[in-house]
Structure 1
Amino acid sequence: MHVKHLTSALTLVATAALLTACGQKEEAAAPAATPAPAVASEPVVKIGHVAPMSGAIAHLGKDNEYGARMAIEELNAAGVTIDGKKVKLELLAEDDAADPKQGTAVAQKLADAKVAGVIGHLNSGTTIPASKVYSDAGIPQISPSATNPKYTRQGFKTTFRVVADDVHLGSTLGKYAVETLKVKNVAVIDDRTAYGQGVADEFSKAAEAAGAKIVAKEFTTDKATDFNAILTSIKGKKPDVVFFGGMDAVAGPMLKQMKSLGIKAKFMGGDGACTAEMPKLAGDAIGEEQVFCAEAGGVEGEAKVGMDKFRADFKAKFNADVKLYAPYVYDATKVLVAAMVKANSSDPAKYLPVLAATTDYKGVTGPISFDEKGDIKNGALTLYTYKGGERTQLAVIR
């Protein structure tokens, strides 16, 4: 090897040895790194919520979702412990657009996501088909607003509701129309949905039983905007009252068209048409004590203090007034979680029997207990009219 090359090779070897020695010295001097302690994350309990977040009654769907979010956020802030472990509640909110097919699709999506329970749906027409999906998956479902009796009469162990059904609601309105408003001739319109037909049929039966005559029966759809043909037909029958089974998005425009046609009859509806939005949707056609309706649920006396606080807190949190069902969604969510806590488990199979045995849970909507079908016991109704553009309470009936 050439001397020059030999010298270069020796220099490289010496340099490498020096670097190795320095590295070993630094390793010896530096203390071993201590691994950071693992942060134990809180177990997550997923709760589903479904309502129409798009379409004509999206304002009611958003109202429902707000009720669920308010309950979940309050529970997380207070801390929920299940079987000795603090858990985090997570809301999975879905839109069924008030469409039965979309309702079953999102129900399956929530079942696949392994939610511990479901609050919803809003409409009877989506709640009933979706309930089969939840039943097959063994997932408890509490509807805050579906009033069609069929929902809890299918033999499923997973179905519950925190409002009175159409039998109670429709029959109470039918009796009120005859006995208090003294009507004799009645026209009935429904929107062909499970809810609309159900409440209209119960109203008709009760009104007839109380002595009224049904002079007209008509139907429309839950997406209709033109009612002139059926209203013109009804006008010729000279009814004392027109009862509509359907939601406020249809009821409001219907009232406007009744006024433009000169129909002087009073207007009645179930809880779907008994909202704070009705004066906006109907305009001056809302009249003064011209519209009468009933909402499933109701509080009075000392219990009203809790409801008033809920409404104030809701307004402060979302900068929006309660439209209709938010308090029932709020209670349903808290009842569901209370059953998990009491059962020491969020496993549906383990807490479902505890949920079914709920007795006198103190909700903002009143005491909640379930019967053998999952219906609320002693469900109250609140009768309302509209005065000065505001919904005004008339009476609470149990």
Structure 2
Amino acid sequence: MRFKQSWIQTAILSLFGALAFSPAAQAKDVIVKIGHVAPLSGPQAHYGKDNERGARMAIEDLNAMKIQLDGGTAKFELVPEDDAADPKTGAIVAQKLCDAKVNGVIGHLNSGTTIPASRIYYNCGIPEISPSATNPKITQQGFDSFFRVIANDSMLGVALAKYALNEVKAKRVVVIDDRTGYGQPLADIFSKQVAANGGKVIEREYTNDKATDFSAILTSVKRSNPDLVFYGGMDAQAGPMLRQMKALGINAKLMGGDGICTTELMKLGGDNVGPNVLCAEGGMALSKMPGGPAFEARYKKEFNADIQVYAPFVYDATMTMGMAMKEAGSADPKKYLPKLRNINYKGVIGTISFDKNGDIKNGAITINSYNAQGKTPVAILQ
């Protein structure tokens, strides 16, 4: 009987020993949930899908790195949400991600949705990196959990105003905005900078981010006979606006920020999009980014589509968050947030580091126009 017990004990010990040292027993996945929020429905869905693709590319690369976090191998998972570019929906989605206890958030795309959402993430203790929300007020709220990898509207508005006056030689400027948290502040900054540099805004008009008929506004604009129309808003409105400007015989250039600076604008505006359109992007032009050409080639291969605007910024935002976790050895926001504040990551768009408010340091501004081949940079300002 003693022999049998010994044999059984030996067998059990051998079995447990084998299991304990087997690869299956040693491997331990640590699930890291990264939320991503953008408009995946509605007129701005092409932006949102473009952003989400950039995030998925980064998640793929982070998983390939086999990063060790919290005692195991990190398995990054993307948790995508649609805020439809609506501030109320943005707040609901933000609370949903808080309740899901995600480890971090990439987004939101729009300033109007980011402003209410950023407070919710701050209260939940979840770090957030936006690739595209440019309203200066966001980083002035005092939320040490918020960062962005793109130049803000103060930089964009100033650059656009200087270019309009110094290079375009605009004398008569009309300003239109969509009354959103992105479009209105950008238009305000542009108007103020035009006046500060000796220019004149002869008319100020307003629309909304759902409009497609601008006949009443543009009839008034035509009477003002401007040489430049500045639009603070997105391409879903800028495209139809360009068509209607041509139909009314308005020969002024159309200028705007990164919201209109997309490849989609050529579809929305048709043959009315060309050298008559000028727009600014935060950051270097894709072709001038350190990793831009390689990223573009990979993106086209994976998705059979052209990059709109923000995909490389989303990719870098996601990678930056992952690298902060790697430095901390943890996906716990309390542990990796200090690393994020002091990060120095060389990404596709360039070196990413943040100032005390969470704004990217040394953000470049690219002025673009359009030709038959598409969007093309005409000036890079730093």
Coarse TM-score class (shorter-chain normalised): over 0.9
Q: Find the residue that maps to 1:194 and give its secondary structure.
A: coil
Residue 350 of structure 1 pairs with residue 350 of structure 2: no
Which position in structure 1 is the counterpart of 2:291?
306
Q: 2:149 aligns with which of 154, 162, 165?
A: 162
The one-letter code sitting in structure 2 at the alignment partner of 1:87 is A
Which position in structure 2 is the counterpart of 1:295?
281
Call closer, same or farther: CA 1:300–1:46 in 2, change over 3 Å: closer
Instruction: Decide which structure has the larger Cα Rg and report it.
Output: 1
Give the Å deviation of 1:345: 1.2
The one-letter code sitting in structure 2 at the alignment partner of 1:74 is D
Give the Å deviation of 1:75: 1.3
Q: Deviations over 1:263-309 (max 9, x none)?
A: 0101101000001111111001113x1000011111699x6452100
Q: Deviations over 1:214-244 (max 9, x none)?
A: 1110010100010000000011011110000
Distance (Å, rounded) in 2 between the aligned partners of 1:389 and 1:254: 21
Unaligned segments of structure 2, at least 5 residues: 1-7
**Residue pair 1:286, 1:389 contacting (<8 A) in 2 also:** no
Residue 319 of structure 1 pairs with residue 304 of structure 2: yes
Give the Å deviation of 1:84: 5.1
Unaligned segments of structure 1, at least 5 residues: 1-27
Q: 1:367 aligns with which of 351, 356, 359?
A: 351
TM-score by length of 1: 0.89
Which position in structure 1 is the counterpart of 2:271?
284
Map 1:1-398 onto structure 2 (within 5 A): 37=19, 39=25, 40-83=27-70, 85-287=72-274, 289-298=275-284, 304=289, 306-359=291-344, 361-398=345-382
Distance (Å, rounded) in 2 between the aligned partners of 1:334 and 1:42: 19
Which position in structure 1 is the counterpart of 2:3?
none
Q: Find the residue that maps to 1:365 and give its secondary structure.
A: coil
The one-letter code sitting in structure 1 at the alignment partner of 2:165 is V
Q: Find the residue that maps to 2:291 and give its secondary structure.
A: helix
Distance (Å, rounded) in 2 between the aligned partners of 1:231 and 1:368: 41
The one-letter code sitting in structure 1 at the alignment partner of 2:63 is N
Which region of structure 1 is more displaced relative to structure 2, 200-209 or 115-124? 200-209
Q: Find the residue that maps to 1:236 and give its secondary structure.
A: helix
Percent of aligned pairs with the same amino acid: 59
**Residue pair 1:44, 1:89 contacting (<8 A) in 2 also:** yes
Distance (Å, rounded) in 2 between the aligned partners of 1:338 and 1:135: 21
Give the Å deviation of 1:42: 0.6
Distance (Å, rounded) in 1 between the aligned partners of 2:77 and 2:293: 27
Distance (Å, rounded) in 1 between the aligned partners of 2:338 and 2:289: 30
Q: Find the residue that maps to 1:253 and give its secondary structure.
A: helix
Q: Deviations over 1:148-168 (max 9, x none)?
A: 001111011101000000000
Distance (Å, rounded) in 1 between the aligned partners of 2:74 and 2:127: 19
Which position in structure 2 is the counterpart of 1:18?
none
Which position in structure 2 is the counterpart of 1:17?
none
The one-letter code sitting in structure 1 at the alignment partner of 2:380 is V
Query: Size of the alignment, in residue pairs?
Result: 366
Q: Find the residue that maps to 2:120 and give its secondary structure.
A: helix
Q: Deviations over 1:243-270 (max 9, x none)?
A: 0000011100000000000001011010
Give the Å deviation of 1:138: 0.7
Call closer, same or farther: CA 1:300–1:102 in 2, change over 3 Å: closer
The one-letter code sitting in structure 2 at the alignment partner of 1:220 is T
**Residue pair 1:296, 1:382 contacting (<8 A) in 2 also:** yes
Q: Deviations over 1:7-65 (max 9, x none)?
A: xxxxxxxxxxxxxxxxxxxxx9xx99x68947554110111000000000100000000
The one-letter code sitting in structure 1 at the alignment partner of 2:260 is A
Which position in structure 2 is the counterpart of 1:7?
none
Give the Å deviation of 1:83: 4.8
Q: Find the residue that maps to 2:33 and give its secondary structure.
A: strand
Distance (Å, rounded) in 1 between the aligned partners of 2:125 and 2:65: 28
Moved over 3 A (4+): 34-41
Distance (Å, rounded) in 2 between the aligned partners of 1:364 and 1:384: 19
Distance (Å, rounded) in 1 between the aligned partners of 2:44 and 2:285: 25
Which region of structure 1 is more displaced relative to structure 2, 39-48 or 314-323? 39-48
The one-letter code sitting in structure 2 at the alignment partner of 1:150 is K
Which position in structure 1 is the counterpart of 2:5?
none
**Residue pair 2:28, 2:73 contacting (<8 A) in 1 also:** no
Which region of structure 1 is more displaced relative to structure 2, 61-70 or 71-80? 71-80
TM-score by length of 2: 0.92
Distance (Å, rounded) in 1 between the aligned partners of 2:207 and 2:233: 9
Q: Deviations over 1:311-349 (max 9, x none)?
A: 000111111111110000000000001001101111101
Give the Å deviation of 1:77: 1.9
